[in-house]
């Protein structure tokens, strides 16, 4: 890569909607060794936002202009609508540029697998923004599981629920297959990934997928059950029509359980313009600590500090030859394959076996 310890790695960001503006641009700007060199967007309002938020970044109308000046870049971040993920990532790979793709990697596993294989053939680094591996509550659960605080885990419950009964215009509400819209793709990409990270690949999948809001084209209420090869059962809820929220995590073992409520605070902070390095970044106040133990004998467990910045720190290190990319893109392909299987399970009303991943 062109960057050195003295010259930051130059990043081009494709898209300045929610993902690009709220997540990627602030985290890139906060990462030592990276600089936001260019942003691709045609939208006049978003171009004005870029000028306000990142005045040193070059504004580009069309990604094709980036490929023509590939020597001026070190990394491309694809934060476009889902339907463009694979096409934009393949163009970057063809240009020999390292790529970060926002989740989900692809609308279907076959396209995602082809992209991963092509990047491998060309020797181009590729990773996927599974940022919620660095949620503080998830890091806490992972630590408790790995340290054996729960004993042998039997059940893992995870919820990403919202109360958004009104349908907002946009591609996320479109039923077109290439959009990968709906709660199962949007929120399930996080919950499935987290469950597999904790307990390994599942052997079977069962799902219930519904449209509850009048006029909804995509699922807004979903439940997925994963039976992991080691015996743990993961129950995952996601949706937009939940007037009373359940626990974010409930993990049950043969020695103790752990329950926590509320979402990791990093997304809310980023939406408010507060990022890594600002006071309280990634921290949860003691009143929101999860509880560990057995009913009648519970204790509060301090929540690990959330660390979304770790993703781009690892990207920068990997591009300088110091360790792997933060997320193996093959994991993201497997997640999409499980989401596809969950949709099929819901349509058939059946528990389905999981084929061995084609690695």
Output the pTM of the full model.
0.94
| Whole-number pLDDT of residue 1 | 47
Give the model confidence (pLDDT) of 78-96 as tens digits.
Answer: 999 999 999 999 999 999 9
Mean pLDDT across the chain: 95
Angle at 327 between CA 236 and CA 137, to 5 degrees: 45
CA 338, 331, 160, 250 torsion-angle sign: positive
Residue-by-residue DSSP string for 258-281? EEE-S--SHHHHHHTT--TTSTTT
Ordered by start, the domain boundaries in the chain are: 9-129, 134-303+338-353
Residue 192 confidence class, pLDDT cut points 50, 70, 90: very high
Question: What pLDDT score does 167 carry?
Answer: 86
Grade residue 4 by pLDDT with cuts at 50, 70 and 90. very low
Which pair of tokens denotes residue 77? 């971040």
Are 220 and 212 contacting, i.e. CB atoms less than 8 angstroms apart?
yes
Residue 6 pLDDT level (bands cut at 50, 70, 90): low
- The architecture that CATH gives domain 134-303+338-353 is 2-Layer Sandwich (3.30)
Rounded mean pLDDT, 261-288: 97
Backbone angles phi, psi at 154, to 5 degrees: -110, -35
Average pLDDT over residues 40-44: 96
User: What pLDDT is stored for residue 188 in this prediction?
Assistant: 96
Note the helical H segments in the chain: 18, 25-30, 44-53, 64-68, 85-94, 109-122, 136-146, 183-186, 188-199, 266-271, 309-319, 329-348
Q: Is the pLDDT of residue 195 over 50?
A: yes
The CATH class for the domain spanning 9-129 reads alpha beta
Are the beta carbons of 40 and 12 closer than 8 angstroms?
yes
Asked which of 65-69, 93-97, 155-159 is least confident by mean pLDDT, the reply is 65-69
- Residue 287's contacts (CB-CB under 8 Å, 6 or more residues apart) are none
Quick check: 24 and 52 in contact, CB under 8 A?
A: no
């Amino acid at each position: 890569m062109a960057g050195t310890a003295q010259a930051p790695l130059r990043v081009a960001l494709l898209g300045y909607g929610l993902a690009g503006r709220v997540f990627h641009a602030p985290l890139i700007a906060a990462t030592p060794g990276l600089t936001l060199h260019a942003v691709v967007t045609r939208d006049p309002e978003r171009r004005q936002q870029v000028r306000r938020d990142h005045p040193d970044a070059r504004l580009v109308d069309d990604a094709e202009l980036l490929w023509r000046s590939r020597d001026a870049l070190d990394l491309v971040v694809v934060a476009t609508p889902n339907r463009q993920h694979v096409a934009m990532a393949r163009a970057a790979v063809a240009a020999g540029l390292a790529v970060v793709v926002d989740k989900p990697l692809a609308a279907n596993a076959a396209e995602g697998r082809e992209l991963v294989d092509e990047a491998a053939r060309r020797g181009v680094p590729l990773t996927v923004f599974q940022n919620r591996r660095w949620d503080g509550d998830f890091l806490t659960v992972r630590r408790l599981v790995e340290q054996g605080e729960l004993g042998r885990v039997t059940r893992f419950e995870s919820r990403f629920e919202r109360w958004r009964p009104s349908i907002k215009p946009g591609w996320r509400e479109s039923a077109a297959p290439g959009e990968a819209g709906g709660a199962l793709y949007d929120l399930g990409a996080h919950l499935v990934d987290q469950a597999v990270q904790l307990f390994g690949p599942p052997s079977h999948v069962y799902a219930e997928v519904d449209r509850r809001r009048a006029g909804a084209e995509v699922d807004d209420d979903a439940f997925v059950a994963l039976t992991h090869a080691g015996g743990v059962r993961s129950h995952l809820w996601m949706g937009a029509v939940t007037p009373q929220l359940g626990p974010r995590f409930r993990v049950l073992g043969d020695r103790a359980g752990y329950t926590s409520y509320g979402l990791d605070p990093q997304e809310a902070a980023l939406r408010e313009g507060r990022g890594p390095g600002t006071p309280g970044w990634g921290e949860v106040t003691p009143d929101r600590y999860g509880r560990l133990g057995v009913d009648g004998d519970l204790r509060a467990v301090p929540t690990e500090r959330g660390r979304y910045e770790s993703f781009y720190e690892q990207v920068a290190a990997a591009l300088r030859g110091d360790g792997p990319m933060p997320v193996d893109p093959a994991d993201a392909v497997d997640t999409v394959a499980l989401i596809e299987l969950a949709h099929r399970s819901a349509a058939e009303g059946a528990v389905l076996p999981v084929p061995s991943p084609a690695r």
